[in-house]
């Protein structure tokens, strides 16, 4: 029997049809609707007005910068912290399965629940974090109310929630390294940190690439946690593209909202695709 007949294309169709109808078609049509003023029923073509508006209005275009800061900082911190946690959890300590579980659990809790928890822990006067800061002799910080700090507070919580996935990926990468490399390094008299730098780090490059790409895309698309913790405020201090899309939708500016959606898509494409290409190239060069 022919391959085409055994592995019939019809097996592929249910999944593809659902995906095409409910994902691809809306994405394609969003390019068109972003050029209009519309209300789901009628539309008026308005050229690039929505985009001009998005990039010229300060309350909107700062969301671009916030999104980039948010994505690159969460990604960078996860790449860094997760590596050391993974290094620690692949050492000879005996409580690693407990620690791994503790690190992993926040990942299963919804962003809204995490947001509520940390909003109270970060309460400007009664929050436990500020009580600790005060007890240590510092002055209290208005984590979510100060426009200069709010974005970084949410970033910290995002890292807290998401560092586990990165850690787990690193652990898998580190465990797959052949132990003969370490033995060879040890015979050559390499210290612990020399082994980490020259063996572990380059050998788990594929894991690191997964962490970078996954956390970067997650950061660029982030909505739930920011919405639960600050709702984009104070003012527009923590507005990211996804929250602008929602706000403009709630305010009835559907064209502007759709343009925001397209801008997010383009931003992710111009960052993620070349980065992935570069990382794969580098991986090939290393191996």
Partner 1 sequence: MNKKKKIQILVGDIVGCALAIIIFIFPFYFMFINSLKDRREANKLSIAFPTSIHWENYLDVLKNNNYQVLIAFKNSFLIMLFAVAVLIIVCSMAGYVVQRRNDKVVNIISTLVMLGLMLPPAILPTIKLLQQLHIYKTMFGIVMIEIALQTPFTLMLYRGFVASVPKELEEAGYIDGCTNFQVFFKIVFPLLKPVSATVIILDAVTIFNDFQNPLYFFNGSKNATVQLTLYNFMGQFASEYNLLFADVIIITIPMLIIFLIFNRKIVDGMVAGAVKG
Contacts of 115 (CB under 8 A, 6+ apart): 157, 224, 225, 227, 228, 229
CA–CA separation, 158 and 225 (whole Å): 7
**Site membership for partner 1, residue 208 (CB under 8 A):** no
**Site membership for partner 1, residue 181 (CB under 8 A):** no
**Site membership for partner 1, residue 212 (CB under 8 A):** no
* Contacting partner 1 within 253-282 (CB under 8 A): 254, 257-258, 261-262, 264-265, 268-269, 272-273
Shortest reach from residue 261's CB to partner 1, in Å: 5
Contacts of 207 (CB under 8 A, 6+ apart): 169, 170, 172, 173, 174
- The one among 20, 65, 184, 286 contacting partner 1 by CB under 8 A: 20
Q: The tokens of 204 are what?
A: 């788990």
Q: How far is CA 151 from CA 66, 71, 227, in A?
A: 8, 11, 12
- The one among 65, 112, 280, 286 contacting partner 1 by CB under 8 A: 112
Residue entry with tokens 């690439």: 209
Stretch that binds partner 1, among 45-53, 56-64, 110-118, 179-187 (CB under 8 A): 110-118
In the bound state with partner 1, the residue whose beta carbon lies nearer, of 58 and 252, is: 252
CA–CA separation, 233 and 219 (whole Å): 18
- The one among 15, 136, 187, 285 contacting partner 1 by CB under 8 A: 15
In the bound state with partner 1, the residue whose beta carbon lies nearer, of 58 and 108, is: 108
Give CA angle at 111 (231, 274), nearest 5°: 90
CA 141 to chain centre: 25
Q: The tokens of 219 are what?
A: 């950061």
- The one among 74, 210, 230, 238 contacting partner 1 by CB under 8 A: 210
In the bound state with partner 1, the residue whose beta carbon lies nearer, of 190 and 272, is: 272
**Site membership for partner 1, residue 105 (CB under 8 A):** yes
Shortest reach from residue 272's CB to partner 1, in Å: 5
Stretch that binds partner 1, among 47-55, 137-145, 195-203, 242-250 (CB under 8 A): 242-250
């Amino acid at each position: 029997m022919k391959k085409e007949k055994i592995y019939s294309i019809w097996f592929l169709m249910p999944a593809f049809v659902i995906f095409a109808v409910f994902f691809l078609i809306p994405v394609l049509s969003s390019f068109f609707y972003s050029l209009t003023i519309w209300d789901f029923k009628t539309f008026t073509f308005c050229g690039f007005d929505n985009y001009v508006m998005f990039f010229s209005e300060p309350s909107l275009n700062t969301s671009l910068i916030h999104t980039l800061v948010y994505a690159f900082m969460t990604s960078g911190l996860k790449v860094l912290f997760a590596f050391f946690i993974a290094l620690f959890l692949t050492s000879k300590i005996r409580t690693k399965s407990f620690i791994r579980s503790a690190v992993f659990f926040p990942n299963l809790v919804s962003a809204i629940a995490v947001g509520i928890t940390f909003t109270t822990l970060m309460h400007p006067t009664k929050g436990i974090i500020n009580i600790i800061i005060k007890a240590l002799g510092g002055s209290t910080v208005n984590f979510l109310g100060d426009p200069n700090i709010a974005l970084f507070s949410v970033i910290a919580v995002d890292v807290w929630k998401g560092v586990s996935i990165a850690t787990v990926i690193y652990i898998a990468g580190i465990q797959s390294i052949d132990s003969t490399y370490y033995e060879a390094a040890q015979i050559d008299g390499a210290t612990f940190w020399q082994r980490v730098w020259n063996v572990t780090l380059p050998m788990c490059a594929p894991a690191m690439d997964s962490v970078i790409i996954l956390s970067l895309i997650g950061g660029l698309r982030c909505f739930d946690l920011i919405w639960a913790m600050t709702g984009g405020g104070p003012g527009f201090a923590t507005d990211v593209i996804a929250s602008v899309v929602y706000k403009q939708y709630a305010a009835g500016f559907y064209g502007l909202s759709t343009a925001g959606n397209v801008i997010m898509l383009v931003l992710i494409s111009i960052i993620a695709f070349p980065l992935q290409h570069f990382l794969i190239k580098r991986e090939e060069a290393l191996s």
